[in-house]
Amino acid sequence: MRRSRKVKILATLGPASSDEAMIRKLFEAGADVFRINMSHTDHPTMETLVGRIRAVEEAVGRPIGILADLQGPKLRVGKFANGKEELTVGQTFTLDDRTELGDATRVNLPHPEILQSVQPGHRLLIDDGRLQLQAQAADGKSIVCTVVSGTKISDRKGVSLPDTDLPVGALTEKDRRDLDAVLATGVDWVALSFIQRPEDLAEVRKIARGRASLLSKIEKPQAVARLAEIIELSDALMVARGDLGVEMPLEAVPGIQKQITRAARRAGKPVVVATQMLESMITAPVPTRAEVSDVATAVFEGADAIMLSAESAAGEYPVEAVATMDRIARRVEQDPTYPGIINAQRSEPEATGADAISLAARQIAETLKLTAIVTYTASGTTGLRAARERPQVPIIALSPVLQTARRLSLLWGTHCVVTPDAADLDDMVDRACQITFAEGFGKVGDRIIITAGVPLRTPGSTNMLRIAYIGSDGLGGI
């Protein structure tokens, strides 16, 4: 089953989409990768979902990626004697380490790292920014604040700290347990929440030991400030616009989205745009015009994947949401302005043999109007370099490693096929032509371009280009 679009769709599983039949419907509607949100999923449920996705994968005969999204540090205020309180703008309100239930003047904040890190002038955003406080004084045990906007606060509401760099890593004890569990099931991607600094990735890499690729969610100002360093240590990025829009001005988020997507493209790392893309489809069978435009913008920007959250996890129309996203993406990619926009954002290749080969493959394929670019890739690196070029023709990534094919299912314009390694150069050409024909990308007489590393089975050694045509026997000719 080949997709007629280049951008990939990432669908979150949940109560509305957890049985095997629904997962298959979502795949057939257009989902390429499935996300399991560990904030709402226990280990037995996660293991069941992974098993069902793998069963669908076997049934459809296509590699399907799985992303496990770790919760990250959830910072919350304590409880109130009345469950909630009404505040007034301008009043003083204190967050402290006292364990008594809160009232209209104070509440417990069970996070000593916040009490010790916040400085006068720092903002504290409660309940996704609905209540904004500004610190006036802090002594390590309490933070005396002024209410800037909003009037309501209640038990266990979340706290965001856009101005404060917390001296804690992105992994909590729950995350460590979840990470061990998801790695044991063989998920392909692990998403890290609330990354602040590149060092936050080090512990996860040490635990993962290459068993899964790491996706950094950019949702804090501190991460935006150190974006280049975080990209270097990540395998992929996500523009997590929900929390990003809480911790930064809403009007800044579209520009930051473009900065992140373009920086990731320059680095050759996949980038996902997420949050509220088709939010109204949680309860409605059709999206708003503004949501359609939002999805289209991400596709025009050249994002590798676009993501559905509650729309597919808990909405009333999960299949329709995926199908709608698929239709929008296909229509954008057929728009006459699309190639020019994608080409205008292309960056210069790095001074490496692999980058030079990938650039040449795109230019040759587009100049000669070839049918496809076929890349042999064991580790996935060759596929990443090919997709970085954003060619107009499809990329067919052939890999002997199932895990590599699953990970590349997140990658723009890439159709992944698991196949044994070629025995020699002739077998490599024949196999590429056979698969291009069998997968519906080419017909007899069409020409393809093949990239690979010689000697074969040498990871990271992409150094060869070969143009071949599909013969009448399905094999390749030069």
Assess contact for 235 and 269: CB atoms under 8 A: yes
* DSSP label of 105: S
The number of C-alpha atoms within 13 Å of 275 and in the hemisphere containing its C-beta is 15
Cα separation, 106 vs 91, whole angstroms: 11
Structure token digits, residue 431: 């196999």
Amino acid at 384: L
* Phi then psi dihedrals of residue 206, to 5 deg: -65, -40
Active-site residue flag, 330:
no
Which residues are registered as beta bridge partners of 86? Answer: 152
Q: Which of 3, 8, 62, 217 is catalytic?
A: 217
Which residues, 6 or more positions from 300, have their beta carbon under 8 angstroms from its beta carbon?
332, 337, 338, 341, 342
- Kindly name the residue from 5, 24, 35, 62 that is annotated as catalytic: 35
Among the listed residues 164, 261, 275, 451, the single catalytic one is 275
Is 266 annotated in the active site?
Answer: no
The C-alpha atoms of residue 38 and residue 19 are separated, in whole angstroms, by 17
Q: Which of 25, 54, 74, 76 is catalytic?
A: 76
Is position 385 annotated as part of the catalytic site?
no
CB 219 within 8 A of CB 242: yes
Give the Å distances, CA to CA, from 257 to 113, 264, 280, 386.
Answer: 29, 11, 21, 23
Comparing CA positions, the residue from 89, 249, 243, 220 lying closest to residue 158 is: 243
Secondary structure element (H or E) that encloses residue 58, with its range: helix 43-60
Phi/psi at 444 (5° precision): -60, 130
The reply to whether 275 belongs to the active site is yes
Task: Tell me which residues are annotated as active site.
Answer: 35, 76, 217, 275
